[in-house]
Chain A
């Protein structure tokens, strides 16, 4: 290599850098306006507009062939059939944002009326969702929200407040209004669980719950073995314990397994958040009499009705607008276009066989 050719590269690179630096004070995070050309949700809502027939409603979940997703979109399909629309399900096999974008583009081409999407990346799907909205397609996010400036509404499965209240309500019923209760949570820094526990603490301070005493909070780290041992420890340390509340699907199953095979069965109640398939045997053998979770089928069902209401002009996505969602009843749009599904579904021996997820 000659000296000259040795020099060319660094000099060229330096020149490029210098060129870049002279453009300093260009577009930075702070100067860039973050409005990515959001399609303004224009128009005026007419709450009395009839729901249109034959709407093309497409669902784009995070990925296909996932049991939980199948139930969500199954609910969506049922609603589309009630609405006499055309249901379509598309989606990638990998939960990546870029493959979702290709599907959004396909749906734009096919001139769908509504896209229901569970976003893999709230921002990466944004530019193409806005292209969809500019083409007149209504966008309903469910399960996992897209950035709020690129969808019309978001179906929120449950609020933190709603879940916290429900957990205390079940504990109170199981304890008969007074007695010792304990919490078996996930990890000490789990965001969701800590938010729910904070609501529970507020609820427990209310006069109607004065008889309940929270004696301990332990962490099973969402690990089956650890949760099992923590449940065991709770019962040994607190002989008068009446209820274990576990706001995590791993914890509630592990605690139920321990109690169902111990002498505490029938004396100590377990409740919290779990899935019907996981909890069925403990409900059948009497260890657990009630627990809760949102119903994924209702999420898809509500998404379809919200999409139909948007496409029919009943709502535009503004706060305070109301619409009727078939068997689920009336809904009001909240802040930032959020529609809250409602209180979680409570599962008992009577209804558990109606659910398979």
Chain B
């Protein structure tokens, strides 16, 4: 119970509060912001980021990272275009793309858990590799003329609610339940807090991480499919740079880049806050350059603020703890863990 309370007084609660506050202020100040149609445009813009942020949160919580997601999206889009152009039916192409994404994720997972390489290095490599393959598959071509009914579904709404909300909501609930209400989720936090401790407590670190990358690849490929259908255009360069937006939103949501800390609700708030800020600034005719500056500043704040808050809190806790000798249940603040910023070396045994 006190754990739950703590959870909702943390950074993620702050982000959600900032989000609500921002939406109210923007609704009052920026013309055309608070309309149903604008909300549906925002959902379309944030969908790929939110989708990939779900598995990315789980990966970052374990202290790893996956920077190849946008390239996986692009390769999935390119393969989708090539197969569609070859006359295959869309109902077959979509599962093929998802399987492809899972395989690409498995390659990441194999290098990271099987060969014990740092995930940052591996996924920077596959970031280039998968994007390169996308250009091999489709070149500079764009394949268009995907079935209009699919595009209309992706960008459409029914009863005022964008259709995309439903799959996003289902996946959000699935990932949220796994991370916050299952032993598997708890083991992810344990891994992020310390690989050795996790291994001693019987968690199969390598195998769990491997499957996280597989899931992440499949979800990135799904984002590629939705991207292709939304724009009705398959291109090898689709989604270039999206991995940074995803990592940014996850960090803004209060997930520690060193692992072991964060909530999916905070990430949802981070994704939505970034989308709302960009949307409102564009509507207010703020120039593109200013928009990038604001986004950059938000991210720096998001990395600085939780650390500052954490430092202050632990300082306060230390002072409080001193007078009464038996500190009543030392605050289970997993802060000290972050003293080791290097990506935890992966483990060979599974």
Per the bound structure, the CA–CA distance linking A98 and B98 in Å amounts to 22
When the two chains form their complex, are residues B233 and A16 in contact, meaning their CB atoms are under 8 A apart? no
Per the bound structure, the CA–CA distance linking A166 and B348 in Å amounts to 72
Interface residues in A28-69 by Cβ distance below 8 A to B read 28-37, 64
Which segment of A120-128, A190-198, A293-301 sits at the interface?
A120-128
Q: Does B84 contact A (CB under 8 A)?
A: yes
Chain B residues contacting A37 (CB-CB under 8 Å) are: 148, 152
Q: Does A346 contact B (CB under 8 A)?
A: no
Chain B residues contacting A106 (CB-CB under 8 Å) are: 41, 279, 282-283
**Other-chain residue from B90, B148, B237, B240 in contact with A26 (beta carbon distance below 8 A):** B90
Interface string of B13-47 (1 = CB under 8 A from A): 00000000000000000011101011001001100
- The majority secondary structure among interface residues of chain A is loop
When the two chains form their complex, are residues B95 and A127 in contact, meaning their CB atoms are under 8 A apart? no
Interface string of B48-67 (1 = CB under 8 A from A): 00000000000000000000
Interface residues in A83-100 by Cβ distance below 8 A to B read 88, 90-93, 96-98
Tell me the count of chain A residues lying within 8 A, CB to CB, of chain B. Answer: 50
When the two chains form their complex, are residues A127 and B89 in contact, meaning their CB atoms are under 8 A apart? no
Chain A residues contacting B240 (CB-CB under 8 Å) are: 96
Chain B residues contacting A20 (CB-CB under 8 Å) are: 91-92, 94-96
When the two chains form their complex, are residues A64 and B288 in contact, meaning their CB atoms are under 8 A apart? yes
- The majority secondary structure among interface residues of chain B is helix
Interface string of A108-134 (1 = CB under 8 A from B): 111100000000011111111001000
**Interface size grouping (class) on chain B:** 35 or more
Chain B residues contacting A335 (CB-CB under 8 Å) are: none
Chain B residues contacting A11 (CB-CB under 8 Å) are: none
Q: Assuming A24-B89, A37-B152, is B232 touching A127 (CB within 8 A)?
A: yes
CB distance from A309 to the nearest CB of B (A): 26
Q: Does B326 contact A (CB under 8 A)?
A: no
When the two chains form their complex, are residues B92 and A24 in contact, meaning their CB atoms are under 8 A apart? yes
Given contacts A97-B233, A109-B41, 14 further A-B contacts (CB under 8 A): A24-B91, A27-B91, A29-B84, A32-B146, A35-B148, A36-B232, A90-B285, A93-B292, A97-B231, A105-B45, A109-B32, A121-B142, A123-B233, A128-B155
Residues of A that sit less than 8 Å from B by CB: 1, 13, 16-17, 19-21, 23-37, 64, 88, 90-93, 96-98, 101-103, 105-106, 108-111, 121-128, 131, 147
